């Protein structure tokens, strides 16, 4: 289990992303899974830093990542006021396609198996089953 | 910052062809790199060429902020009826473009020559 509190800083967030991806690779997750975990984690961290903590360096982002052999669970918590994820417009509808922002939550949901928020809306929990890089069952060649 | 095996260094290279610009985007367009991509696209859009081709064959990752940077470039180009065309995204990036439905905004080509031929 990786549990860390990082400053509200994109470089620190990227370093932590690298550490978590390194763990996933060591456990044996394949490229597709690591792409999905990386994308969802980056989106959660960007939201926490930009929208949650509003780039306030006095605030922290707390991350926990449990990289299991079959399943990964990641929680990202900021110190902001929280928000209602249901109120975020769907970025894939025609009228929103040209908006530069607003795709983070949709991508987390698209690339992870489970995404949920706490009541306050300042903590996202994501889970993904390992799909790639699994050892072949005995008897298969 | 040291680049690990996961974070391929973000690189860009610009070449000019007739009334078009080819921007090679390589490596990872991560949260720490997307601003540079946006600055470059805004700078290139200001040259008011007809087409900016983004060669993506060596780009292995892009986050939503990076996608937003390309959209900002697209909106800037539209001011002068210019276009941004995408070339050879790797399968994971192509899937990302399809998931976000950005394939409706951007045509994807197999080669730079194809992108410039239209």
What's the DSSP call for residue B8? P
The strand pairing partners of A128, in sequence order, are A72
Q: Beta B20-29 vs B51-55: how paired, if at all?
A: parallel
Residues 6+ apart with CB under 8 A from B1: A11, A14, A15, B32
Q: Give A38's contacts in chain B (Cβ within 8 Å).
A: 6, 61
pLDDT in tens, A75-113: 999 999 999 999 999 999 999 999 999 999 999 999 999
**How many C-beta atoms lie closer than 10 Å to residue B82's C-beta?**
21
Domains in chain B: ranges and CATH: 11-117 (3.30.750.24)
Q: What is the pLDDT of residue A138?
A: 61
Q: Are B64 and A88 in contact (CB under 8 A)?
A: no
The pLDDT-based confidence of A139 (bands split at 50, 70, 90) is: low
Q: Are B92 and A33 in contact (CB under 8 A)?
A: no
Q: Which residue of A has its CA nearest to B67?
A: A100
Interface of A with B (CB under 8 A): 10-11, 13-15, 17-18, 21-22, 25, 31-32, 34-35, 38-39, 42-43, 45-46, 91-92, 94, 97-101, 103-104, 106-107, 110
Residue-wise pLDDT tens for chain B (118 aa)?
Answer: 445 566 689 999 999 987 899 999 999 999 999 999 999 999 999 999 999 999 999 999 999 999 999 999 999 999 999 999 999 999 999 999 999 999 999 999 999 999 998 7
- For residue B108, the SS3 value is strand
What's the DSSP call for residue A85? G
| Interface predicted TM-score (ipTM) of this complex, two decimals | 0.91
> What CATH number belongs to A2-129?
3.30.565.10
pLDDT in tens, A35-47: 999 999 999 999 9
pLDDT tops 90 at residue A134: no
Q: What is the pLDDT of residue B78?
A: 94
């Amino acid at each position: 289990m990786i549990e860390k509190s990082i400053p509200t800083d994109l470089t620190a967030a990227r370093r932590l992303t690298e550490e978590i991806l390194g763990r996933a690779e060591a456990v044996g997750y394949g490229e597709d899974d690591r792409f999905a975990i990386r994308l969802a984690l980056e989106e959660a961290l960007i939201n926490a830093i930009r929208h949650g903590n509003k780039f306030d360096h006095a605030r922290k982002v707390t991350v926990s990542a449990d990289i299991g052999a079959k399943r990964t669970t990641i929680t990202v918590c900021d110190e902001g006021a929280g928000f209602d994820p249901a109120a975020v417009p769907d970025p894939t509808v025609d009228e929103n396609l040209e908006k530069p922002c607003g795709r983070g939550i949709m991508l987390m949901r698209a690339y992870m198996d489970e995404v949920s928020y706490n009541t306050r809306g300042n903590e996202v929990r994501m889970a993904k089953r390992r799909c790639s890089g699994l050892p072949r069952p005995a008897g298969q060649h | 910052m040291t680049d690990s095996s996961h974070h391929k260094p973000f690189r860009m290279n610009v070449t000019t062809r007739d009334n078009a610009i080819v921007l090679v985007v390589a490596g990872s367009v991560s949260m720490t790199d997307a601003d540079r991509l946006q600055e470059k696209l805004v700078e290139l859009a200001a040259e008011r060429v007809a087409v900016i081709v983004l060669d993506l064959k060596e780009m292995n990752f892009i986050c939503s902020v990076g996608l937003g940077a390309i959209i900002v470039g697209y909106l800037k180009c539209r001011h002068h009826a210019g276009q941004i065309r995408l070339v050879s995204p790797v399968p994971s990036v192509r899937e990302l473009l399809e998931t976000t439905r950005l394939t409706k905004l951007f045509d994807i080509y197999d080669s730079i020559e194809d992108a410039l031929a239209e």
